[in-house]
Every structure is written in structure tokens, then in C-alpha cells.
Amino acid sequence: MSHAWAQAFSMVFDPYNIFVMLAASLFGLFVGAVPGLTATMATALLVPVTFFMAPIPAIAAIVTATAMAIFSGDIPGCLMRMPGTPASAAYTDEAYAMTKKGQAETALGAGLVFSALGGLFGTAVLMLAAPALAEFALKFSSFEYFWLVLLGLTCAVFITSDRPLKGFVSLLLGLLVACVGLGNPAAFPRFTFGSTELLGGIGMIPMMIGMFAISEIMRYAVDTNPELMIVDQPIGNVFKGMWALAKKYPVQILRGNAVGTLIGALPGAGADIAAWITYAISKRFSKEPEKFGTGHVEGIVESGSANNSALAGAWIPALVFGIPGDSITAIVIGVLYMKNMNPGPMLFTNNPQNIYAVYLLFIVANLIMLPLGWWCIKVSKQILKVPRTVLMPVIMLFCVVGSFAINNTAFDVTVMLVAGVAAFFLEANGFPVAPAILGVVLGGMLEENLVTSMIKADGDFSAFFARPIAATLGVLTLAVWLLPLLLRRLRQLAGFAEPA
């Protein structure tokens, strides 16, 4: 074990890896700080570049860039009343109200310090929970995996959407996309219509780039809102008063971290939903709820740490079961397969040094966030002045080249474009995209375990409930289907208004 740790240390503190982490930090801080560019988009844009790296630097780039982006998304929220990433949307108004009161540095400082703290908390849970779950998962058969995947998909439908029906449609469409090609238990070419390019299935990475980057650029293109103004206010020492805040709100910090990690670990729900729910919880249990919305730091402390802890939490099911906890890890799973680090419990027994390296990457990323984030806040006004009219076309060309680079085929550029247009129209009509992504990523696994289980069961459906863990997971899955009313109540609490 100590040998594996030593190997992990040497991989993480390798000069090339440190260089990658620094470069990814700058990239992540920039992407997060520019409104309209998200952490998931940062991940999708990184994949074509990580494609050419060794496994650990590739993962390092993604871990660092996403952690930074989720923090720096707070900056434009605070200075322009425009969240840099959806994960900051929950408390953008609050942060902006603080800026108006002349407390921009406290809002930004709380975002930075408690983001790093949240990330470290999530990492600690990842380090404790993942190996324990992996040991448990070694005993899983196809029945357990079938229920687990189904439970994950079910969660995605009910949590990520206030309209489960549309979430379910989205999920089914994703599962359908996963059916394309030869990759099914019978190895029969389905829905290929004679195309050789479709035999291998629809490329996951070009599709993700389309869904997360191209659709975002299309939304920018049709945005009729005028450009927002930056609040010009000197920003002093952002670390001032943070210790006092930590002493004042220990319960909020702990609760935000714990709830954030948990929501991150639930499939389909990531940092943005974690922030909405923890902000609502913070307000609900606050001693001074009337101050929320008027520039009160309490909610920012709690939800600002929750969105970063959710990032690490999402890696728990991704590493142990290959079930992504959020849309970022959905892309990460694709990268892990490309790097021959197939997720699953065997990853923990066969190559523990890689897992330890992932833990270390998270710790390092969240620690270097403090100085780099401080610097980013200093130069944020320059970053926010970068003209998006130039940036968006450049990013789109980058997406095109990146999609092409995965397999060196123009067909993947078509996949990217179609996925982007589809995601744009689906979202414009209230169909959430996250369940579709999960459907695509998990479709193969769901079918494989379903078919294997059905062959084993030989027509006897009770076999799906014959083993204790399978039965528990099965009952849990069915229960989630029956609990939408309760979840709807929770979402109302979280401030998600059902659009008319």
C-alpha cells in the first residue's frame, strides 16, 4: 500500500504533471469566469487535448480545470450579476447585492475559501467512501449492477428535472442513441443503416462537445439581452474576515459540504443542483432568513462550498461503478475508458496507485485554488472585458477541430453539430439534457446487465430480487418512482418554480 502511495506521489508531483495542472488551472479559471462558458464545457474542450496525454496528467487537467471553473463562476456573478457557470446561479443575486453594499471582497473571498474547503471535504469523503464501496461492489453480480444502473438513471430523471415526464423522454432518447452500432450483447449492427461509421456507435466525445459547447454557443448567438456592465469597485484583501466567517458559520459549512457531496454522488445531479438545494436549506434553517437576498453572506458560505464538494462527490459512483455523478464525470468516464483505466471495483485492487493519484490530484487542485483564485480575482476585470464576440467563434472552431481529432474523421464533426442542435432545441422546450447524457453513457451497461440477468433468471422475474443487495436496490428503485411528489416538494423548497 505504501508502495502504491509512493508511486502516486511521484506521478502527481512529476514536473510535467504540475505544469499540466497549472495550465489547466488558468484555463479553468478563465472558462469559469466568462459567462456562458461552463465547467462541463471546459471538460469537453479539454478531452481532445488530454487524448494525447498519459492517464494521470489527463485526469489532472480535468480535475483542476473543473474545480477552478466552479469557483471562478462566482466572480461574474458578484461583479456583473451574471453567473459564470450554472453552479453559481443559486447565489448570484445575493453576491451582487453584497457588491452593491461595497462588500465584493467578502463575497469573493467566501466563494474562494469555502470553495476550496468544500473541495477538500468532498475529497475526504471520496477517499473514505470509494474504497469501502469498491470492496462491497466486488460481490456484485449482473442483478445488482442492473438495479444500480436503473436506480442511477431513475435518480437522474427525478432529480435533474422539475418535469419527470420530459426527463424520462430525454433519458429514453439517450438510451436509444446508445443502441446504435455493434456494441450490444448480440453484436448485431443496430440502426446503422448501412453506414460503416455508425458500426462503432455514435462517438461519445463529439456528442458531448456538441451538447455542452455548441448548444451553449447557439444560446449565446440568440441571446437578445444587452451586454452587462461590470461593477467598478476596488477589491481589497479577499481573505480578510474569512476566519471569522468560518467561526460564525461552522454548522452551515459542514452541512453545505455534506449535502453537496451527497448530491454530487447521486447520478445526474451535480454542482448546480447542489448549490440550489443548499442555498434553500441555508435560508430555511437560518436564524436570520429575512436577510437572504439583501446581500447576506451566510447562503454563499454554505452553497459556495457545496458546489465544489459536489464535484468530488460525483467521482465516487463514477470510479466505483462507472456511473457518472454529474455531466462532468459522464465525460470523465469516457476518458477513463480511452486511457485503459476502466472504472469499476477492480480499479481499486489492480491499480491502487492510480486511484491514490486521483485523491492527491483533488487535494492539490483545491490547495492551489487559493493562490490562483486570489490572483484570478485580481485580474478578473480584464478577463471580463475579453470580447465574447471573438471568443465564441474561436471556441466553436476549437470544438470542430477537437471533435475531428478523436478519430480523425469529419463524420464526428457532423455528430457534434447534430448533438448541439438537438440539445439546443430540447432544452428550449424544457427537456433536461442530463438524463440523455446518462442514458447514452449507461445504455450499454444497462442492456448488458439486463440481458445477462434475464438469461440467468431464465424467465423467472423473482430472480431479480433473490439476492439481498439486489432486492434492496430493486425496492429502492421502485420507491423512487413512487416518491416524485416528495421530491417535487423539495424542489419547490429549493426555489425551482414550475414554468407555466
Q: Which residues bind another protein (CB under 8 A)?
A: 48-49, 51-52, 165, 168-169, 172-173, 175-176, 179, 184-186, 188, 190-191, 214, 217-218, 221-224, 387, 389-390, 392-394, 396-398, 400-401, 404-405, 408, 410, 413-414, 416-417, 421, 425, 428-429, 446-447, 450-451, 454-455, 459, 500
From the CA atom positions of the chain, what is the Rg in Å?
22
Cβ burial of 167 (10 Å; 0-12, 13-18, 19+) is buried
Q: 49 vs 463, which CB is nearer to another protein?
A: 49
Count CB atoms within 10 A of the CB of residue 56.
23
Q: 223 vs 288, which CB is nearer to another protein?
A: 223
| CA 272 to mean position of chain CA atoms | 8
Q: What's the closest the beta carbon of residue 462 comes to another protein, in angstroms?
A: 17
Q: Give residues with Cβ within 8 angstroms of 337, minimum separation 6.
A: 343
Q: What's the closest the beta carbon of residue 108 comes to another protein, in angstroms?
A: 30
Q: What's the closest the beta carbon of residue 48 comes to another protein, in angstroms?
A: 8
Q: What's the closest the beta carbon of residue 187 comes to another protein, in angstroms?
A: 8
Q: What's the closest the beta carbon of residue 317 comes to another protein, in angstroms?
A: 22
SS (H, E, C) 400-433: HHHHHHHHCCCHHHHHHHHHHHHHHHHHHCCCCC
Q: 370 vs 451, which CB is nearer to another protein?
A: 451
Q: 259 vs 399, which CB is nearer to another protein?
A: 399
Grid coordinates of 481: 418512482
Q: 124 vs 448, which CB is nearer to another protein?
A: 448
Distance in angstroms (rounded) separating the CA atoms of residues 373 and 150: 39
Q: What's the closest the beta carbon of residue 228 comes to another protein, in angstroms?
A: 16
Q: 190 vs 291, which CB is nearer to another protein?
A: 190
Q: What's the closest the beta carbon of residue 211 comes to another protein, in angstroms?
A: 14
Q: 224 vs 340, which CB is nearer to another protein?
A: 224
Treating both helix axes as pointing N-terminal to C-terminal, what angle do 327-338 and 434-457 enclose, rounded to 10 degrees? 60
Sign, CA dihedral 441-160-487-263, equals: positive
| CA 45 to mean position of chain CA atoms | 14
Distance in angstroms (rounded) separating the CA atoms of residues 177 and 398: 25
